[in-house]
A and B are shown apart, each in its own frame.
Chain A
Amino acid sequence: MAIVRIPPVLRTSTGGAKEVDATGDNIGDVLRSLGDQHPDTKTQIFSGDGALNRYVNVYLNDEDVRVLDGLDTAVGGSDVIVILPAMAGG
Chain B
Amino acid sequence: MSPSGAEFIRQIKTQIAEVDPADVHSKLDGGANGNGGVAVVDVRESDEIAQGHIPGAKLVPRGFLESRIEGAVPDRSQHVVVYCASGNRSALAAKTLSELGYEHVESMTGGITLWKDRGYKVDVPRKITAEQRERYSRHMLVPEIGAEGQYKLLDAKVLLLGAGGLGSPTALYLAAAGVGTIGIVDDDVVDLSNLQRQVIHTTDRIGTPKVESAEITMNALNPDVKVVKYETRIDASNIMEIIEGYDVIVDGVDNFPTRYLLNDATVRLKIPVVSASILGFDGQLSVFAPYEGPCYRCLYPVPPPAELAPSCGANGVLGVLPGTMGLLQATEVVKLIVGAGEPLIGRLLLYEALGATFTELKVRRDPECAICSRDPGEISDDEMGVFPDYEAFCATAG
Contact = CB atoms under 8 A, between A and B. Distances in A.
B361 A59 contact: yes
B300 A57 contact: yes
B300 A90 contact: no
Interface string A2-44: 0001011110000000100000000000000000000000001
Contact of A90 (B254, B354, B360, B363): B254
A39 to B, nearest CB: 16
What's the interface size class on B, roughly?
Answer: 35 or more
Interface string B239-262: 000000000000111111001000
Interface stretch (B9-17, B33-41, B310-318): B310-318
A86 B256 contact: yes
A9 B303 contact: no
Most chain-B Cβ atoms within 10 A of its Cβ — which of A63, A67, A82, A88? A88
What's the interface size class on A, roughly?
Answer: 20 to 34
Interface string B69-80: 000000000000
B361 A64 contact: yes
Contacts of B256: 86, 88
A5 B312 CA distance: 21
B282 A90 contact: no
A63 B311 contact: no
B282 A7 contact: yes
Interface in A44-90: 44, 54-57, 59, 62-64, 67, 82, 84-90
B308 interface: yes
A57 to B, nearest CB: 7
A88 to B, nearest CB: 5
B300 A55 contact: yes
A63 B360 CA distance: 10
B302 interface: yes
B277 A86 contact: yes
Given A9-B308, A57-B300, A82 B361 contact: yes
A82 B358 CA distance: 13
B263 to A, nearest CB: 11
Nearest to A53: B304
Given A55-B308, A62-B361, A82-B361, A89 B303 contact: no
B277 A88 contact: yes
A54 B312 CA distance: 23
Interface in B380-398: 397
Contacts of B312: 89-90
B281 A87 contact: no
A81 to B, nearest CB: 12
A64 B303 CA distance: 17
Given A86-B303, A90-B322, A62 B360 contact: yes
Contacts of A82: 350, 359, 361
Interface in B164-204: 164-167
A90 B162 contact: yes
Contact of B362 (A5, A64, A88): A64
B284 interface: yes
B259 A88 contact: yes
Given A7-B282, A55-B302, A57-B300, A86 B309 contact: yes
A10 B322 CA distance: 21
B158 interface: no
Given A7-B282, A55-B303, A62 B308 contact: no
12 contacts: A7-B282, A8-B279, A18-B352, A54-B301, A55-B308, A59-B361, A63-B362, A85-B309, A86-B309, A87-B282, A88-B311, A90-B312
Interface of A: 5, 7-10, 18, 44, 54-57, 59, 62-64, 67, 82, 84-90
Closest 3 CB pairs of A and B: A89-B312, A87-B277, A86-B300
